[in-house]
Amino acid sequence: MAAVCGMLLTSCDGFKDNPMPAGSVITISDFEDVNVQLNDKGFWSGEAIGEGVDGDWGEVTYACKATTGLLTINVNYSVMDMGGYSYDWWGGIAVSNRTGKELTSMDDQYNNIVGSGVNGSNNFGVIYGSGSTIDVNVEGGAAIKYIYVANSAYTMQNVLVGDGYSPKFANAGDHITLIIKATRADGTTAQKEVSLAEYTTALSYITGWQQVDLSEFGSNVTKLTFDYDAHNSGVPLYACIDDIAVSAK
């Protein structure tokens, strides 16, 4: 279940020097309490339930949602029948409990390089593609204190080895950056960039779960949007997230 971390002037997980406003409670959205069923391969990335929208290619897309703590994650799941075969794809934020750390098949797009959630937990989120969103289910918004970010197995396969779409990171300027954008209740926005991997004079990348402070976004965040910036359009746009701390009165 999503953990409730503190009340009043108590803070947690490295935020003792950045206390909450009086009367606030921090809820950790840890993906353990999601209201959807992961499949037998260990992931959920949407499903053909409800009313779908017909697309230009003959596909049908379903706007799917899952909740964790005070947050709702959004994913678009598309399916298309062609010549007796069914094809599906997705974009947005999936849920995974897969323990693999490498990419050997397309099911491994739901792997991170740690092999678990934060502190060995089971579930975590997988962000695929720019424009992925999380809604904050608090009237008037809430403060997002922090989020944990890890690299996906798919992205790191490209960074370290390369593939037919993009060579490995070996030149100055090679990079992939996760851009976290906050939309506030008053319509204003703010954003923060997180370097997933980059090559300057040598390669550097996030090797585990990294806590990212988002308290600068303020106390009235209603939505988070995740975008990517990469030097090459062939770089796989994946990142993994977990333990999102939401502070609300």
Give the per-residue pLDDT at 23: 57
Looking from the CA of 246 toward its CB, the CA atoms found within 13 Å total 28
Confidence of residue 176 (pLDDT cuts 50, 70, 90): very high
Annotate 116-128 with three-state secondary structure: CCHHHCCCEEEEE
The amino acid at residue 173 is G
Residue-wise pLDDT for 72-102, tens only, equals 999 999 999 887 788 999 999 999 999 999 9
The separation between the first and the last C-alpha atoms of the chain, rounded to the nearest angstrom, is 20
Burial class, 80, CB count within 10 angstroms (exposed 0-12 / middle 13-18 / buried 19+) = middle
Report the share of the chain in percent with pLDDT over 70.
91
Residue-wise pLDDT for 206-241, tens only, equals 999 999 999 999 999 999 999 999 999 999 999 999
């809430």: which residue's tokens?
142
Least confident interval from 10-19, 179-188, 198-207: 10-19
- What is the average pLDDT across 136-160? 98
Q: DSSP letter string over 6-69?
A: EETT---TT-TTSPPPTT-EEEEE-STT-SS---TTSEE---S-S--EE-TTS-EEEEEEEEET
pLDDT higher than 50, residue 12: no
Mean pLDDT of the chain: 91
- What is the average pLDDT across 121-139? 98
How far apart CA 217 and CA 24 sit, in angstroms, is 16
Give the per-residue pLDDT at 31: 98
